[in-house]
Amino acid sequence: MSCQITFIKDKIKHNFLSCYQWFGGIRMLLSTNKLKNLRIENGWSQEVLAKASGLSVRTIQRIESDGKASAESTLAIASVFEISPKSIMATTNEIKVNWTRKIIMKNMMALLIITGAVAMLVVLAGSVNLVKDGASGLFLVLFLYSATIISFGTDGMLKSLAGLKYLFTDELVGGSQAKYLSVLFSSQVKFLYGGALVGLVIGAIAILGNVDTYEDFVFQRASAVNLIVLFYASLLAESIFRPLSLKLKTCDMSS
């Protein structure tokens, strides 16, 4: 193994000298999946790759995490695997994310603040029981993902569920996949309000169709319950799906 690593290092030096002028100073975005697969296919640990490439283990871990690498690191890794640097670069349809605890906690805190603000308004309005309606929530979720399957297919629904994780990061590098998810989440905002409209209309028909059997209090209570589906739709749309759509639409496409 030591002889192999020495040989690889010699090749790195040769390739580096011949390519540095072309790459010099450029920050690269590598495909973390391609890099991990290459390392695993060779049966190497991160420590072995670090030793062979002359980079630190910490650098290898960081590159495999967020894909960001200097020109020197890119050339060193490419030389180890005897491939072109371009072959390990991220393609335009990949979404690269820099997951850090600070960013995750910041976004979680923002969600908690929104939740707390809504909960405070609910308590001021009277009681949490006023906005509890499992049937409305279930209907809205089923409507949302049924409409998603019709419009984007089952794969679109699965990508929507997987894409919820991007709510907890700010540092995104996107491509065609980010644009696709942005359109998907934007459409889901419309599906939520569409489902709420259907629920409101059906509820109104049920209430007005039986108005003769209601006392005033029961009529008012039924009318209030009918608005819960709109409350759920606006809460999901404006705190989750619209922010996700805007984040993916405006994510940094060049860094």
Q: What are phi and psi of 221, to 5 degrees?
A: -65, -45
Nearest-CA neighbor of 233 among 190, 184, 187, 204?
190
Q: What is the pLDDT of residue 4?
A: 52
CATH number at residue 63: 1.10.260.40
Could you tell me if 234 and 117 lie in one domain? yes
C-beta neighbour count of 159 within 10 angstroms: 16
Together in a domain, 47 and 122: no
Residue that finishes a domain, picked among 37, 56, 88: 88
Residue 83 maps to a domain? yes
Number of domains in the chain: 2
Together in a domain, 124 and 204: yes
Determine the pLDDT at residue 254: 42
- Both 52 and 107 in one domain: the answer is no
- Distance CA(6)–CA(52), nearest Å, equals 8
- Average pLDDT per consecutive 10 residues, the chain (255 residues; last block may be shorter): 51 46 55 85 89 89 82 87 81 67 85 86 78 88 95 92 87 77 94 94 85 70 84 93 89 50
d(CA 133, CA 233): 13
- The whole model's pTM is what? 0.61
Q: Kindly state whether residues 62 and 111 are assigned to the same domain.
A: no
Domain boundary pick from 88, 119, 151: 88
Tell me if 18 is assigned to some domain.
yes
Beta carbons within 10 angstroms of residue 238's beta carbon: 13
Distance CA 48, CA 160 (A): 37
Domain containing 70: what range?
2-88
- Tens-digit pLDDT profile for residues 197-214: 999 998 888 888 876 766
What are residue 68's phi and psi, to 5 degrees? -85, 130
Task: Tally Cβ neighbours within 10 Å of residue 160.
Answer: 21
Residues 235 and 204 in one domain: yes
Structural domain contains residue 254: no
- Indicate if 77 and 118 belong to the same structural domain: no
pLDDT of residue 255: 40
Please tell me the predicted confidence (pLDDT) of residue 214: 65
Q: Is residue 81 part of a domain?
A: yes
Is the residue at 255 inside a domain? no
In a domain, 120, yes or no: yes
* 56/142 same-domain check: no
